[in-house]
Amino acid sequence: MKTNYRRCISCRKVGAKESFWRIVRVYLSREVQLEKGMGRSAYICRSAECLRVARQKNKLGRSLKATVPEHIYQSLSLADVLTILPRARRDPRSGS
Ligand SMILES: [Zn+2]
């Protein structure tokens, strides 16, 4: 399978598409949403630091040429927490 490379809008790091969050400005409705949809997209590392920088400098908004609603940032902060938690629970030595 071919790997798709993307660049983080915050730190400019290049990596596999799967390692980033995708934020999409939907083609028809011009609404900004996460992960799904066709339209102009921006990619950002799954890290709280890149999220913070992107938010502070409005990098997302500028990249998408749209206003990024507050709930998008909130979902991403939450997603950051959610991706950390399952990893901590997946310790093979625990629970047996
Ligand atoms: Zn980054």
Task: Give per-residue pLDDT as tens, 20-45.
Answer: 999 999 998 989 999 889 999 999 99
For domain 5-89, give the CATH number: 3.30.1230.10
What are 5's strand-pairing partners? 16
| DSSP code for 3 | P
Mean of pLDDT values over 3-30 = 93
Q: Check: CB of residue 65 under 8 Å from CB of residue 40.
A: yes
Where does the pLDDT of residue 3 fall: very low under 50, low under 70, confident under 90, or very high at 90 and above?
Answer: confident
Q: Ligand 1 mean position to 90 CA, how many Å?
A: 25
**pTM confidence score:** 0.80
Q: Ligand 1 mean position to 93 CA, how many Å?
A: 32
Q: Ligand 1 mean position to 51 CA, how many Å?
A: 8
User: Nearest 10 degrees: CA dihedral of 9, 12, 18, 19?
Assistant: -110
